[in-house]
Amino acid sequence: MRAHTLERLAAWDRVLCRRFNRASEFAVLRVVLVAASRLGNGIFWYALMGALLVWGGEHALAAVAHMFGMGIACTAVYKGLKTGTSRKRPYAAQPGITLCAAPLDQYSFPSGHTLHATALSLVVLTYYPVLFWLLIPFSVLVALSRVVLGLHYPSDVLAGAAIGATLAGASAWRVF
């Protein structure tokens, strides 16, 4: 019974992946999501760190240090998991999935972009809740982009978000 349930979940994951990927046919949406994905490579987070330092000066040092440490922790966790699971990306494993952006690495599970976006957004929101209006929509776009662009399964994105939230929560608990 357990194997049957897991196979049904995997089939659901593949079906959702194909459905989301079909949205990449809409040029405007594809352009927006490619931009979000590229910004999620790190550019957005580095720019935010710089802006916080310029805007907040000495007060921002704790937040930026926390973000920097969280980024290192997230990278270590997702690289370890990707190497350990070796799950092929949807465009490589399923016919009919259109790849719309170059992957940063070979494997799919978990979504490192979503993991970082979730963890870093939660860390920043701990210090600057007023940035909710910027960080939550951006993080949702990053997560959505990964599936629509053919780079991840929905389960990769959900796992990335859960791991990112767990890491952010653990780090906030230790800091505050």
H helices of 23-87, where? 27-38, 44-56, 61-85
Count of domains observed in the chain: 1
| 175 alpha carbon, distance to own chain's centre | 23
Q: Are 118 and 168 in contact (CB under 8 A)?
A: yes
Closest CA to 124 of 73, 78, 81, 60: 60
Model pTM?
0.91
- pLDDT at site 152: 95
DSSP notation for 73-93: HHHHHHHHHHHHH-PBPHHHH
Predicted pLDDT of residue 175: 54
* pLDDT in the model for residue 8: 87
The domain spanning residue 141 has which CATH number?
1.20.144.10
User: Cβ distance 123 to 171 under 8 Å?
Assistant: yes
Q: What is the pLDDT along the chain (176 residues), one digit of tens a residue?
A: 577 777 888 889 898 899 999 999 999 999 999 999 999 999 999 999 999 999 988 999 999 999 999 999 999 998 999 889 889 999 998 888 999 998 888 899 999 999 999 999 999 999 999 999 999 999 999 999 999 999 999 999 999 999 999 999 998 765 54
Q: Which residues pair with 107 in a beta bridge?
A: 88
Domain that holds residue 29: 2-175
Distance CA 67, CA 29 (A): 29
> In the numeric block, which tokens belong to residue 156?
């990769």
